[in-house]
Amino acid sequence: MQNWVEKQALIAPDHLAVTDGSQRLTFSQLLTDTQQINGQLTQAGFAPQKAVALLANNSFEAYRIAMALLASGRPIVWLNKRLQSTELLRQIQNSQSGGVIVEDALWRDDLANQAVSFSDLLNLPAQSLALQSEFDPNGTASIMFTSGTTGRPKGVVQTFNNHFSSAVSSMLNLGMTPTDEWLCAVPIFHISGFSILMRGLIYGMTVRLVPRFEAKMVHTILVNEPITTLSVVPFMLKKLLAQQVTTGEPYNSKFRVMLLGGGPIDLATLNQSQKAGIAVVQSYGMTETASQVVALSNQDAPAHIGSVGKPLFLTQIRLTDDQGEILLKTPALSPATIGQRTTTTARVMTPDGWYQTGDIGHFDAAGFLYVDGRVDDMIISGGENIFPDEVEAAYQAFAGLQEISVVGEKSPDWGMVPVAFIVADSSVTAEALTMYGRRKLAHYKVPKRFIKVTELPKNASGKVQRAKLRAQLAINP
Amino acid sequence: MQNWVEKQALIAPDHLAVTDGSQRLTFSQLLTDTQQINGQLTQAGFAPQKAVALLANNSFEAYRIAMALLASGRPIVWLNKRLQSTELLRQIQNSQSGGVIVEDALWRDDLANQAVSFSDLLNLPAQSLALQSEFDPNGTASIMFTSGTTGRPKGVVQTFNNHFSSAVSSMLNLGMTPTDEWLCAVPIFHISGFSILMRGLIYGMTVRLVPRFEAKMVHTILVNEPITTLSVVPFMLKKLLAQQVTTGEPYNSKFRVMLLGGGPIDLATLNQSQKAGIAVVQSYGMTETASQVVALSNQDAPAHIGSVGKPLFLTQIRLTDDQGEILLKTPALSPATIGQRTTTTARVMTPDGWYQTGDIGHFDAAGFLYVDGRVDDMIISGGENIFPDEVEAAYQAFAGLQEISVVGEKSPDWGMVPVAFIVADSSVTAEALTMYGRRKLAHYKVPKRFIKVTELPKNASGKVQRAKLRAQLAINP
């Protein structure tokens, strides 16, 4: 496969590759730029073919350096800026990176002896160096450490073919026109953001970068610039809808769709989007599949609230008979992980080649998929399955309750029973919570105990770490 | 890979798969229909996994049977209805087909002992039979015998992955929207037509079939139906432009692009298309690459008249140093041919994996490709290359000259010299032709002799067989 940067410079030289609103690069300029940065990377001592870690914001410079790493044959190891330096150092080591390039604004002295800053790199003498002429489809393009809620993060290897298959799947689902422009307000060090950069390179499409999600700014861009597509998570969608209600300003006439990840939306939000004339495509995907593998169209959403949709053209899904674990096949599936704990390795692939997602789900009669929770989180009580998500959702509206997380605790009578950790006002009593739960849920789903804590343990993405709660119960029942 | 018919029935059940203007099938109905025809194919004695030849028009029934063959795991051997039965019988045998299914209107008694007619097949008792659940990407989807101008036709094997890669390449170039509808007025037994059916199945897109190209009818459909895309060859484009000039009727508002194959268009036709607001994307491709591999956009066309464009995203092209033969790499490339003559086999692949097209070309400074002629047709005279196409084109406007074909003849002085076979009025003299040629061409390009014939030998597609003319010169100089 020809180097994608060189390819787009050949077939779409004058098309805008990227803009952050002030700076701009066409694909032809991107080629020249990546050749120059390749020279600077070499001067800075980054060996060809060796992975390089990147600690970056959604900046124009981060885009330029990421493209130069890809196009020069150096796999990108995406670091999550929310992690501690000790964790980042471990990831740099596990991925055998030849060092780390750090955005000036994110500079950390405790990484310094492995690191070069963006400005130090880009201020090296300009010296153009030829790129790698071909991309090996099975070669590593990028490595992302998943911010799992259990255990140590594992580095997911994403190949060029993984990214290509993902981009093609997305195109077969959402369509694509030569004037498409995708706004990237999600982190480029997550697959949600990086997959936008890859689609840009594969489609020959403009990527519009914003430094971070800020509802008012993103709304203004959607109104005034020719953005066709935007990736969001539920809270971003809600904030943007609020902006639309406040301002009454419609988006630009080319706007086509919001691609929503990170969980399905509720009926009220869906209705509000439809009222505002905003098409929302919900989706399900993961770092291991280089972005979405299941999607739900705007048209299908009202009749299938809570569903993540149907498997995309290149994805096959089936459920295990026992637990209903979601198994999948897709050419976008990562071939390998690094630094994986032995305890979780066994659960990755079935003998006949299906990837075990660790998610539990079910299909409705029309073939729409619903994700019910994580295998690790499921509580089997007296032969019945209890999904913590469902129990927690039932308590959403309980007055005085700020946070709740439900896990299983061993029980001599039932095998396991649900137990809730809560952050709540002092007025909230276990009796009231139990009574409330019994009105909303089957009785076996109501937590047997409510344990008050001052805060719930969370990972870098803000997800509650139920594993830590389970460990706490085991130590101190 | 999941069976594409089953996949679309799952993800786009209510989307229209095909219509001929009166009959219609959604993807869900197509699934039921192909399951039923699978039952009928089995009753008719067609073994699973064995190829089946198809002799068909662009009919609704031909589409249904073709889809049933594909979806039931039986490779389709597409027969060209313009060929003689002896030739077809040889193709059926070479492809090891388990028989031939013949459209009623094309029935031939001399094929009868291997054949079943469409109506006999479709009148067998309805008996639904499960399809093949997966498509092997490297398995054979179809076989097409190329109507080459030299030698015996060879059967080109097209895999599922070839068709998929081709459809993806086309989508990356032309874009695709969920409401696309592609009109198929080119033969479905050629790759130009069959690739439309495959795109329909891969994109989940509606295919609009017409029985044959008839300018007035196709024009009316483009005006009144929501057609977005149409494949044409130059004469079809010219006829359609004439219709537009006559009627003044614009096409429907969704109309987006005409994909032109079969040679570049002249500036006058291009200007006329642009005046009429019709975007024409020119292209270069072949049966061996499952459709186009190079394309020229509407926007680039005026500055690069005569070019076929730039290699698509998945295609790499280079030219040999000596002759400028076009070499290519693409995942759409057929992995094998059957019944190939040993004399041509040697020329198919270079040792480092490039496909030798047999076409000669050149790039301009901006990277646009021009196809100059066939390797076999090129005449090297005194060290200079002469392309018959160029010489013939120079005589286009010569009064009284109906047809001309130029080939090389051995010469003791020059190695080779150009010689012309002509169909012309009795008033046309060799002297006048020579004088005319010298005003239009470099002198070494002017044919040394003009041989009058009553007609030129042509193949089933109407292309002049220069090989026969060369053979004639060799026997009878």
Rounded-to-integer distance, Cα B27 and Cα B19, Å = 11
Identity of the residue in A7, A175, A180 whose CB atom sits nearest the CB atom of B313? A7
10 Å CB burial of residue A449 (0-12, 13-18, 19+) is middle
Contact B205, B180 (CB under 8 A): yes
Residues of chain B with confidence (pLDDT) below 70: 147-152, 339-347, 477
User: Which residues on A lie below 8 Å from B203 (Cβ)?
Assistant: 172
Q: Hey, what are A79's tokens?
A: 């670091």
Q: What is the pLDDT of residue A149?
A: 53
Measure the CA–CA gap between B359 and B308, rounded to whole angstroms: 13
Give me the pLDDT at residue A339, please: 64
Of A88, A191, B15, B205, the residue nearest A99 (C-alpha): A88
Lookup result for tokens 């050749």: A35
Q: Do B177 and A172 touch (CB under 8 A)?
A: no
Q: At what angle do helices B60-71 and B4-11 cross, to 10 degrees?
A: 110
Q: Give the integer Cα–Cα distance in Å for B184 and B70.
A: 19
State the CATH architecture for A4-135: 3-Layer(aba) Sandwich (3.40)
Min distance A251 CA to chain B CA atoms (Å): 20
CATH class of the domain whose range is B378-475: alpha beta
Quick one: tokens of B465? 């067989």
The residue in chain A having the minimum alpha-carbon distance to the alpha carbon of residue B7 is: A313
- Measure CB to CB from residue B177 to each of A168, A177, A367 and give the nearest one: A177
Which of A240, A294, A290 lies closest to A263, judged by CA?
A294
pLDDT digits (tens, 9 = 90+) for A73-121: 999 999 999 888 998 999 999 999 999 999 999 999 999 999 999 999 9
Contact call for B176 and A178, based on CB within 8 A = no
* Chain B interface test: which of A4, A164, A313, A363 (most B C-beta within 10 Å): A313
- Residues in B closer than 8 angstroms to A182, CB to CB, are none
Give the nearest chain B residue to A1 (CA atoms): B314
| Token representation of residue B254 | 């969704």
Partner-chain contact A175 B172, CB within 8 Å: no
Give B-chain residues touching A177 at CB under 8 angstroms. 175, 177
Superfamily for domain range B174-375: ANL, N-terminal domain (3.40.50.12780)
What is the pLDDT at residue B336?
86
Q: What are phi and psi of A161, to 5 degrees?
A: -65, -35
Q: Spell out which chain A residues touch chain B, with contact meaning CB-CB distance below 8 angstroms.
A: 1-2, 7, 10-11, 168, 171-172, 175-178, 180, 202-204, 310-314, 316, 367
Q: What is the per-residue pLDDT for B257? A: 96
Same CATH topology for B4-135 and B378-475: the answer is no
Q: What is the pLDDT of residue B147?
A: 62
The pLDDT of residue A152 is 67
In sign, the C-alpha dihedral spanning B410, B412, B418, B420 is negative
pLDDT tens per residue across span A249-298 = 999 999 999 999 988 888 899 999 999 999 999 999 999 999 999 999 98
Three-state secondary structure call for residue B164: helix
* Structural tokens at position A377: 């989180």
Q: What is this model's ipTM? A: 0.88
Determine the residue of chain B that is closest to A331 in CA distance. B1
Name every residue whose Cβ is closer than 8 Å to that of residue A166 and which is 6 or more positions away in sequence. Answer: A195, A198, A289, A290, A291, A292, A332
From the candidates B170, B172, B354, which should be mutated to test the interface with A, based on the most A CB atoms within 10 A?
B172
Q: Note whether B311 contacts A10, CB cutoff 8 Å.
A: yes
Using 50 as the pLDDT threshold, list the residues of chain A that sit under it.
341-346
Look at the block and give the residue holding tokens 């013949």.
Answer: B102
Q: So where are chain B's domains?
A: 4-135, 174-375, 378-475
Instruction: Say yes or no for a CB contact (<8 Å) between B311 and A172.
Output: no
Query: What are residue A467's phi and psi, to 5 degrees?
Result: -60, -40
Q: Output the six-digit token pair for B405.
A: 């074909």
pLDDT at A264: 80
> DSSP character for B444?
G
Cα angle B149, B151, B152; round to 5 = 105
